[in-house]
Amino acid sequence: MAPQGKLDLDPEVVRAARGLAARAAEPIIRMARTHTTVSVERALLRLAGMSGADDGGRPWVNHLADAVRDQVGLEHGVALPVWDALLNGPYGDLGELARAAARGRVRFRLPAGADAGHAADAARQAARTGMNRIDRRRAERDRMLTGGAGGRPSPGTGADPAQPWIYLIVATGDIYEDIPQAQAAAREGADVVAVIRSTGQSLLDFVPEGATREGYAGTYATQENFRLMRAALDDVSRELGRYVRLTNYASGLCMPEIATLAGLERLDMMLNDCMYGIIFRDINPRRTFIDQRFSRQIHARAGIMINTGEDNYLTTADAVDAAHTVIVSQLLNERFGHEAGLADAQLGLGHAFEINPAVPESFRLELAHAQLVRELFPGAPLKYMPPTKHMTGNIFAGYLLDAFFNLAGVMTGQSIILIGMMTEGIHTPWLSDRDLALENVRYVRDACGSLAEDFVPRPDGFIVQRARQVLAESVELLERVEGDGLLTAIAEGTFGITRRPPDGGKGLDGVVERADGYLNPAIEILDTEDPHAAHAEEVPA
């Protein structure tokens, strides 16, 4: 077959790389299909409408799941013991049951026979109610994007902003301070607003409750914070006549629960890549791969676009020497995403502009890497991250480097461009810093227009040869990963240098192998139904 694309990549080499990635991913997929975690089980309870926390802030879903685990284990899931107790006890709802369980007044059992059937039916009905709500929220987004019946009022027509989308972060720690900043960012041109999480939330094995005002270098991801920010961005979307997307983080020990809450509150994008948690937060690899599959199934159902974290590898590893590890991780994430039901249009694969500017030909190397990613994943909304590692504090050099990043993004047709800050690493950006950064990306984007159409590297030139070299190195690494196993590769520091053994890290005690007869009605629905088929008009309220 003839080479194709601007880089003339050999289709057989690309096909071989995808085949190796699929084979390397298969043992992880099997593990995820045969195990559960405490957070997967709590996600079912949240899908069924459970919320709230005790006076100490411990969520009732944690109380209930822990009580079931202590008494009968989680090998069969929480569904049968919980709904059996609801049907046979004096409890009006899951909240009452959880409060009684927290006081030690509930005796859970694993029902059998007709009792098991009744409990399963009740659990399925509760899960279906939650899934219907997610379907309605997805359809709500669709109407707002198209401006159809029930869509946005004037002055907008509901048109989706053209790519590349400008992606901007707010992170005050106080949701009530984040909201006006997010709305101001949208008015200044941001297409996507990300509310970065409070430092260390990924290590909490519970989701905080309610609106929060005391985050650290970020704002806690909670259902109420999601609701408040979604409503605020809907207001500014109506004002501007274009849909402003909302992003948060579904990673860490509560990945499945946060993904579920995001679906229920109509978030649009979620940072969702277990490799980040494994490498940079020392979360157990087994725990987070299992959690990742469920969370991505929820994202697929909710129409949420994921963002993956390959850009983070280049903050620890050299961006030239480790370029192929980014490609390998993207290919693995593509396979994991497809298996979980994500469409190409939901695969916001990550990469970054992190080559040392002192390296000769650094910009040509960046173009080679960015164009390679663009051609390998033509249907994916790629998220391109700005320079951080080599920002020195010289704000003038930093502003110039960000302009080169913006130029590379436009030239290679990137989909989502996170704005770079010239004060990166100096202090939390001021609003004036953000204004200048937005001005930078707007100028480059508007001045270049459709420059990507005209950017065609010289056949067999520097850029083409570099891209082919990185792809060849990716195939070589995938062969090793497929042979040794992905968990072994992670343990050996293949991605981002850091070594993380399969049985190390936080959260392994929350992993449970499923027994025969395991039931989680949410997983039943997600495993058997087309995630993109549901429409609000067909879903009962």
Kindly tell me if the per-residue pLDDT of 1 is higher than 50.
no
pLDDT in the model for residue 150: 40
Q: What tokens appear for 411 in the block?
A: 């030239």
pLDDT in the model for residue 539: 52
State how far the Cα of 249 lies from the Cα of 260, in Å rounded to an integer.
Answer: 12
- Is residue 235 within 8 Å of residue 246, measured between CB atoms? no
pLDDT, average across residues 367-396: 95
pLDDT, average across residues 432-447: 92
Which secondary structure element, helix H or strand E, spans residue 138, and what is its range? helix 113-146
Count of domains forming the chain:
1
DSSP designation for 457: P
Closest C-alpha to 365, from 347, 351, 383, 381: 351
Residue with tokens 């109407």: 143
Residue 357, domain member (yes or no): no
pLDDT in the model for residue 154: 37
- Is residue 531 within 8 Å of residue 300, measured between CB atoms? yes
- Is residue 460 within 8 Å of residue 453, measured between CB atoms? no
pLDDT in the model for residue 127: 98
Residue 459, domain member (yes or no): no
pLDDT, average across residues 136-161: 69
pLDDT digit string, tens, across residues 335-374: 999 999 999 999 999 999 999 999 999 999 999 999 999 9
pLDDT in the model for residue 151: 45
Residue 119, domain member (yes or no): yes
Kindly tell me if the per-residue pLDDT of 279 is higher than 50.
yes
Q: How far is CA 108 from CA 71, 83, 217, in A?
A: 6, 10, 41
Average pLDDT value over all residues in the chain: 93
Closest C-alpha to 66, from 82, 46, 84: 82
Residue 412, domain member (yes or no): no
pLDDT in the model for residue 540: 52
Which secondary structure element, helix H or strand E, spans residue 229, and what is its range? helix 223-240
Residue with tokens 């047709």: 413
Closest C-alpha to 509, from 159, 37, 162: 37
Residues annotated as catalytic are 276, 311, 383
Residue 71 belongs to domain spanning? 48-130
pLDDT in the model for residue 67: 98
Residue 63, domain member (yes or no): yes
State how far the Cα of 254 lies from the Cα of 45, in Å rounded to an integer.
Answer: 13
Least confident of 91-100, 218-227, 270-279: 270-279
Residue 462, domain member (yes or no): no
Residue 330, domain member (yes or no): no
Percent of the chain with pLDDT over 90: 85
pLDDT digit string, tens, across residues 200-234: 999 999 999 999 999 998 999 999 999 999 999 99
pLDDT, average across residues 303-313: 91
Residue 490, domain member (yes or no): no
pLDDT in the model for residue 498: 85
Number of neighbours of residue 536 by Cβ within 10 angstroms? 17
Kindly tell me if the per-residue pLDDT of 148 is higher than 50.
no
Residue 521, by phi and psi: left (phi above 0), alpha (psi -120 to 50) or beta?
alpha
State how far the Cα of 333 lies from the Cα of 43, in Å rounded to an integer.
Answer: 22
